[in-house]
Amino acid sequence: MNLLSFLINKYSLIIPFLLLFSCNKKWDPDQQFTQQSEKIRLEQQNFQLKMRQEAMNNLRGFESEILLEVKNGISNQDFNKLVGFKYSILASNTTVGNHWERRLYKWDEIVESKWSPNSLEYQLCEKNRDFFIITINQINVTAVEYL
């Protein structure tokens, strides 16, 4: 028996078995659609969880940055760059060319200034939380009261 006839006999036995087993399953478009839809849903869910975790990390990191950076003596320019311009004036005094203010900053307003009201960080942050009261003059922050 030569090599060629051996290979033909060998493959002639294997090919019908492969065809039998491979053609056993029929394509079900409904099942394929369901599987693909489920896969997409799980990917979206994982992406949303990842984005939510990242936003929470951003909020924690930003709050830590504020706690480290905002202290007596920080310049008004650096302070405003860090926390933004949204605040409530609690008291104001102008004497002999000096202007002093006590300002209340809320956490959600600080977050809104950093990102936007449409951001996930803003949606997740604690609303109406008084963050600190600042006493400020024309040059720098003179007192910080964390609430």
Residue pLDDT, tens place only, 49-108 = 999 999 999 999 999 999 999 999 999 999 999 999 999 999 998 887 788 999 999 999
Query: Residue 4 has what pLDDT?
Result: 58
Query: Residue 88 has what pLDDT?
Result: 92
Please tell me whether the overall predicted TM-score, pTM, comes out greater than 0.75 for this model.
no
> Which tokens hold the place of 19?
């065809």
Domain residue ranges of the chain, discontinuous segments joined by +: 30-146
**Are 86 and 114 a contacting pair, CB within 8 Å?**
no
Cβ count within 10 A of residue 108: 16
> Which tokens hold the place of 103?
């300002």
- Nearest Cα to 131, choosing from 108, 100, 112? 108
What residues does 98 pair with on adjacent strands?
95
Query: Residue 47 has what pLDDT?
Result: 94
Cβ count within 10 A of residue 107: 20
Q: What percent of the chain shows pLDDT beyond 90?
A: 63
Which comes out higher in pLDDT, residue 117 or 9? Answer: 117
